[in-house]
Structures are given as C-alpha cells and as structure tokens.
Chain A
Amino acid sequence: MALLEVKDLDVGFDTPEGEVHAVNRLNFSVEAGETLALVGESGSGKTQTVMAILGLLAENGHASGQAFFKGKDLLRMSPSELNLHRGSEIAMIFQDPMTSLNPYLRIEKQMIEVAMHHQGLKKAEAVAHAVEVLRAVRIPDPERIIRQYPHEFSGGMRQKVMVAMGLLSEPELLIADEPTAALDVTVQTQITHLMSALQKKSNTAIILISHDLGIVAGACDRVLVMYAGEAVECGTVEQIYYEPKHPYTQGLLNSVPRLDQATERELETIPGNPPNPLTLPDGCKFRDRCPQAFDACSEPPPMQVGGDRHPFRCWLGVSK
C-alpha cells in the first residue's frame, strides 16, 4: 500500500471574482522511501495540493476528494486529529526560511516545542535530540547555534535549520515546498544532498515541489508534471527527462538553458503566458500554447496510461 495516496483531489477558492479552481481531479501516490517531485509553474496548483493535504488551506479554500495517509483519509480528519500527524509523521519545509522561523524565539525553543509536544520528551532530552539532528544536517557547533536567534544566521543556515526541524520527529513523509529557491547555488546542493542522505537513513518519503528542473533531476525518483491544476504527465525521472510525452513537458525541458550544451542553440519557448486560473480555456487547458494542438483538443483529453506506468494527459497518439 502506498504511504500517501491522493484520489480525485479538487481544491477551489471563493474569490470576489468567482470560484477559482486551483486543483482539478488530481491523482497520485507516494511510496515509502521514494522522492516524488511536483513540477510546474505559476498557476499549476502544486503548492495548493500539499496545503490541502495538510489542512492548511486559506479561509476561503475548500478541498474535496481523498488523501489516504497510511490508509486514513487526511481530508476527513478534524483539526485535532490532523495535528497528531502533522509535525510528527508528516513534516513540511516551506520555501522562505526568513518567514518560517519565529524571529522572537531562539532556535532551541522552536525545535523542542515539536519534540516535547509530539513525543512527550522532557526538555533536556528534547534539547539533546535537537542537537543531534542539527549535527546530522551538518551545522557546525550545534550546541552554540541552538541558543541563537534566526536573524543571526545566513539564509543557507536557516534553511538547514528548517530541514532539521522537519526531520526532528523522524517523519515518514516530508513535504518540501521549493526548499532551495531562496538559496545560493552552492548552498542548494548541500541541502539537496542532505535530504537525500537522511532519506536513505530513515526511509522517509519526500514530496519535493520545485520549478527547478535541475534540482529535480538530481534529487527525485519520480516526477509529476502539473499544469493549470491538473496532472499532465507522470513517470520516473528518466522517463520524464529522456522520453517526455506531453508537449508541455517537452516545451519545459527545451526552454531551460543548460550548462553542458552548445550556446548557439536558440532556446525553444512555449508561447504565451502561464495560465490564469480565472480564464482557463475549455477542453485541454494547454491548447492555446501548444505547438501541436489540433481539433480534438477542444475536448478535455484523456489520461493515456500505457503499460510503462508513464501516463500523460493528451490527445496525441489517440486513435479515433
């Protein structure tokens, strides 16, 4: 049984301009110990997906569908039930370490709060455990660091502390929302290697949300590509990068400049702009930007599932 199984997830928001569908009928699963990437641009719905799963949607948001974590539906749980899982078995790392850490509290206080609450440890034990985890994320001199305030660190250090806090309770599922976006490239690799190493050690499953195709290539086992709130392609990282089937995935891969390629090649672009959830076209949501669109695309395309477990949502190749 998969560790996390999401079925027909729908997320919507009530806005003055009308109902906005952020996520539409999303299905995916995550196995224990594997890393799944949610890849997409603005408006793809990747962040709202995990917010819905964790019960962190804004006031005007609502989610329907099912999200089974170890067999129990997270979307049906009450906030107090959800709290038992959040922070202990499921942990989240947010994008901006500046705003995720409380600037008024020492790191120590923020870290032991989790351990004492969920695992019932006494303060001394919790502190010792926290120090060990900080050491594991390669923060030098953790006994001293733990007594400091967030503003005394660099962005890279802060993010490492966030990773440490995420791993404190040895979660079975770690959700990381663009964990390296705000960091310099030399620190990015440190963080991703860290997450991989720790994953190997404790068999944690990771959902990595990112728009950075480079990071995803190195850190993930499987990839789910999202566009305008829908899954458009899903497969192993080799399948997605070497045999992309959906025109959006292909376009995305071709538009990323690569260090190891000849520069004379002009970047292929996807024309138009990322989707605005208020003005989505009928039928295939990508058709206005798709270089291969044809008549059938005015109807919503089916999800083509072949034998290779590499489904993609498109009309191409479907015989009428």
Chain B
Amino acid sequence: MNDRVMRVQDLAVHFKLREGGLLQPKTLTLKAVDGVSFDLDAGETLGVVGESGCGKSTLARALLALVKPSRGRVLWLGEDLNKLGDEALRKKRQDLQIVFQDPLAALNPRMTVRDIIAEPLWTFFPKIARVQVDERVRGVMKMVGLLPNQVNRYPHEFSAGQCQRISIARALVLNPKLVICDEPVSALDVSVQAQIINLLKILQKKLNLSLVFIAHDLSVVKHISDRVMVMYMGRAMELSNREKLYRKPLHPYTRALIRAVPVPDPKVARAASDTGLTGDMPSPLDPPPGCVFHTRCPYSIKRCQLEVPALRRMEHGDWVACHRAEELDLTIVKNG
C-alpha cells in the first residue's frame, strides 16, 4: 500500500571508553545499540519502547546519521545515509527531522520563536525572501496550535507544552517525510501530554508523515503507533503490530514490560501480580553472553546463555529475537 521510506539493517553503535589507570589502560566498549533492524513505510508510525539504557536515544541519532554506526546500514529512500558525502547528506536532512524530550532545552533562549522556526528555512534556502519566511512560519505555527501573533516572543515566555509545539513547528517547516520523536511527551504534565499526542496524530494524517516515536511509556506508545519495537540493552527484542503486541507479545521481556505498566484503574491495578522479572539490568559495558535478557528471563534455557538469538520473522510479519518464540504462549490475560 505505502512505499517503504526507511530500512535499517542490523544497526549497531559502539562507543569506546577508556578506563583504568596510566599503567593499565583498559578500553571498554559501550554497545549502546547492538542489533536493530526494521522497515518503515510512508505515513506509518513506528513506536520504539524500552527502559533506560536500552539505546533508544542513540538509535534516534543514528537514524539521522548524527552518530556513525559501527555496523549495519540506515537506508533512506534506498540510499545509505552514511555513504553520502557531507553536502549530499546535508541536503537529505530536509526530509529527516527530530523533536527532543526537554521542551525548553531544545530552543535557543536568545532567539525569537520566528527565528527558531525559520532557521531550517534559511539553512536550505539562503536566498528566501523575508515575506515568504514570515508566511511559512506563521502557517506552520497555526498548524501546531500556536497563535501566529506570538512570533516575536522568546522560549522562556511559553509553557512546556507550547515549547514542544514550537519544536514540532520547527521540525515541520521544511515539509519533512520523517520525524523522529525522542521522548517528546515525557517531560510534560499529563493533561498536556494528551494534547501533544493528539496533535502528532493529526499532523501525521494530514501530512502523511512517517514517525518514529521513542518513549519509555508503553501506554503512550500504544496509543500513537502502528507497529511497536521493543528494545533491551541495545537490541531489538520484538517488532510487532500494535494490537498484537499488547495482547499476545512474542518476547518474554515485552510481556514483563506490559505487565509492569500500572493501569489507572484500581481493580485492575490491585489484581496485577509480579512481572516475573528477577534481578537488575546488567551493565551495558559488560552485557551477558548469549541472549542479553537471559539473566532476568523466567523462560531462559541453556541455549539462551550460549547463543545470541537472531531477530527473525514470524508468520504474520512480526519479528522476534528469542529462541523459544514458537513454543511460548505469552498471551496477556486481562484482569479485573
């Protein structure tokens, strides 16, 4: 139905860290992302969910070629972003935009809203007339729910929710095809979160945008995504259609995550039992051998400690990285 816009193949981003003293220097490798693959279609929203340290933010930057991958490829409209020359890559950036988590920190405090939103325009169209810039800026402000007469104001004069709208406006001003949202609502109050989520949904439909929506809050991700990818310790564990994922997850980690989410309903919340997870997340500097999740998995077997499970395709187009995916039935039983 829709064309594929992005393909990510076995993406990995490793950082080298130097530890130890002068006499015994050690170089440790931080595997922030270590095995992520997915396809993204035009007009589709891919949710990326995971806990802290799972590599989602690094993934966001790798998708935009803001960090260089140590392995794998990011293909945008068929072209490998990391093989492009500087100028060619810069041109591609018109299509690839990002919205960050902290609404105020993402805006230069010394620039007016107009300048902030107009900057991408100046960057790609240096000769553009002021009148045109003004028109476009006001237009995009209206689109995100800000009144155009606020153009001369500064970020600190707005609320957090409005600042996030400004960031979204800046991301949209060049008519991009893909917007990566890195935890865009995590820093907002509950009532404002809902406004921004609704806004993103409306904009996506209107502009046929592809979105990669990164968050740690599963409820939010479920609401906005078409498909959801679950990450753990830098690896993609599962990639499924949204409805399926929340009813019948394929990976034990997904199941644990879903069961850990507190539902705002007293009867349901009271009946919720343990997630089944044991232990703490291991250090990303020293990931466990085999399947990185095996140290906490209630279903792990000998094979899980030895062999890294590949992300493989299951029957309905879902992907999972688990040796026991076929035999486990992880259906979520509804409580209350």
Contact = CB atoms under 8 A, between A and B. Distances in A.
A and B found bound together: yes
A273 B159 contact: yes
Contact of A211 (B189, B246, B268, B270): B189
A203 interface: no
A128 interface: no
Interface string A129-159: 0000000000000000000000000111100
Given A188-B260, A241-B266, A259-B246, A269 B220 contact: no
Contacts of A65: none
B282 to A, nearest CB: 10
B35 interface: no
Interface residues of A, number: 45
A218 B334 CA distance: 16
A267 B198 contact: yes
A257 B223 contact: yes
Contacts of A198: none
B192 A274 contact: yes
A272 B79 CA distance: 43
A214 B262 contact: yes
A95 B217 CA distance: 18
Interface in A184-207: 184-186, 188-189, 192-193
Interface of A: 41-42, 154-157, 184-186, 188-189, 192-193, 211-219, 237-238, 241-242, 251-253, 255-260, 263, 266-271, 273-274, 276
Given A257-B197, A260-B334, A42 B266 contact: no
B286 to A, nearest CB: 14
B272 interface: yes
Q: What 6 pairs between A and B have smallest CB-CB spacing?
A: A214-B262, A218-B269, A255-B194, A213-B264, A184-B51, A41-B189
Interface residues of B, number: 46
Interface string B269-290: 1101011010011000000000
Q: Looking at B190, B191, B270, which has the most chain A CB atoms within 10 Å of its CB?
A: B191
A188 to B, nearest CB: 7
Contact of B243 (A214, A263, A266): A263
B216 interface: yes
B191 A251 contact: yes
